[in-house]
Amino acid sequence: MSRPRVIVVGAGVAGLSAAFRLQQQGCVVTVLEADDHVGGKTASIRRDGFVLNTGATVLADSYTAMRTLAREAGVGDRLVAPPAVIGVVRDDRVHELRAAGLGAIVDFARTPLLSPRSKLRLLRTFVDLLRSRAKVGFDRVEVSAVLDTESVGTYCDRKLDAEIRDHLLGPVLGGIYVVDGPSLSVLALWFTIWKVLLGGLLGYRGGLDFFARALADRLDVQTSSRVTAVTRDGRGAVVAWEGPDGPRSERVDGVVLTVPAPRVAEIFPELDPSVGRLLGDALEPANYVSIRFALSRRPAGRSVLTVAGTGQLGSLATISYEHQLSPGSAPEGKGLIGVLLYHEWVTPRWDWTDEELVAQALNDLERIEPGIGEHVEFTQVDRWSPAALRAVPGSHRTIAELDRLLDPADSVQLAGDYRGMQSVNGSIVSGETAARNLGWTLFGGRT
């Protein structure tokens, strides 16, 4: 009996995870990637002794799917525990808070970030927080969607106060999701508390691409191969693509599509129209710009991550001190800072040049890192459009509806960050789920 032939479209973490699991099940798998490298938004580049992530930077200790796959791919030892200190900006001052253990409680009790009255008001969330624990996760979207009832801003107006909204929840959620924090679904709040803040951060040696590269080394990955069409053919499908040697097509037994949500219907026109409408109209994408500053010296602060609310630092949502988060990402004695610009700020300025974006970001960064411009050796600018979904109220109920409409027995499976909670681990889980569904179909339930 011949082994099933599968093509995975996209070599981001969703596609590589799906391909790795399908290969383990016994499939002959090829991954087709339009770019000339693997990793998608977790890719990294190397320059002058620095390792520069081009998109995502922050991982959480709760990323069990990533941890498991990293161990199986032989790179589990690349994951490390970074200093657990997060900075929150208020009035151009960074309030450093330990993010785990007793120290977190002590720091929060002492910090002037919030007034004593607001700190006490946070106790009002305790019951809601406990109720949410069993419902938040990286899968089971229909369970999580029950919590997708209102925005964080509305929740704060109803139960908390403006100070908590603007100076704690807004910066923390905005810094993590890179969109206006109060506009997000309250589900994002509960997810962030349970899966990011309480679990702690996860660091890694070198660039974040260590994970994608390890998986790709164990797979047949063809880069510079842009898929143009997927069409059904009996129980399988035909995949057409433009590669280095010109146009090609192949009939296969199964396909996993991991392209961004707006591109799915473009590549796969036989997609159920109801699914196409959800992917194209009901899910709101966000645009990100990431900038890395390679520095001749390291800043003095303890934070691995500093977050700012919308407009508090102009364009900036997140400042990651990557020399602390990722040992080996900068030469000895030098520093590496990554910043992510708010979707709301950057979208109307998308036509700005890289030089204009860098100048603005550096000006905003100087407000909490005075004089840092004197130590910049070079910069790296990366743009992502669309980058991820805006987790606004109703978005996860839409994802749950999408999950109900998609056939788990289909020979064409979809995966990506629009299938669950937006995160690196969420993308990995979606890829593994697609592989499990497809494997069940191809092997008659024997996987």
In-domain check, residue 228: yes
Which pLDDT does position 135 carry in this prediction? 94
> What confidence tens digit (pLDDT) does each residue in 322-365 have?
999 999 999 999 999 999 999 999 999 999 999 999 999 999 99
Number of Cβ within 10 Å of residue 140's Cβ equals: 14
Which pLDDT does position 444 carry in this prediction? 82
Closest C-alpha to 389, from 422, 420, 366, 359:
422
In-domain check, residue 425: yes
In percent, the amount of the chain with pLDDT more than 90 equals: 87
- Total-model pTM: 0.95
In-domain check, residue 447: no
Number of Cβ within 10 Å of residue 128's Cβ equals: 14
Tokens at 113, concatenated: 């970030």
Domain count, the chain: 1
Q: Which domain holds residue 29?
A: 5-41+210-283+392-442
Extract the residue ranges of the chain whose pLDDT is less than 50. Answer: 447
Edge-to-edge strands of the sheet including 305-307?
A: 93-98, 85-90, 305-307, 316-321, 335-341, 285-295, 376-389
Which pLDDT does position 57 carry in this prediction? 87
The string of DSSP letters for 245-294 reads TEEEEEEESEEEE-S-HHHHHHH-TTS-HHHHHIIIIISPEEEEEEEEEE
Give the CATH number of the domain where residue 218 resides.
Answer: 3.50.50.60
In-domain check, residue 193: no
H helix intervals, 335-422: 343-346, 354-365, 395-405
Give the CA distances from residue 315 to residues 66, 204, 319, 334, in Å, rounded to whole numbers and listed in that order.
31, 27, 11, 25
Which pLDDT does position 286 carry in this prediction? 93
In-domain check, residue 152: no
Which pLDDT does position 446 carry in this prediction? 52
Element (H, E) at 439: helix 424-442
The string of DSSP letters for 192-251 reads HIIIIITT-EEEESS-TTHHHHHHHTTSEEE-S-EEEEEEEETTEEEEEEEETTEEEEEE
In-domain check, residue 309: no
What is the rounded distance in angstroms from the CA atom of residue 113 to the CA atom of residue 96?
Answer: 9
The angle, 0 to 180 degrees and rounded to 10, between the axes of the packed helices 424-442 and 64-72 is 70
Which pLDDT does position 18 carry in this prediction? 98
Closest C-alpha to 259, from 423, 421, 422, 417:
417
CA angle 231, 398, 258 (to 5 degrees): 35
In-domain check, residue 214: yes
In-domain check, residue 31: yes
| The residue to which tokens 């520069």 are assigned | 52
Q: Under 8 Å CB-to-CB from 156, ≥6 apart: which residues?
A: 162, 164, 165, 169, 182
- Which residues is 116 bridged to in the sheet? none
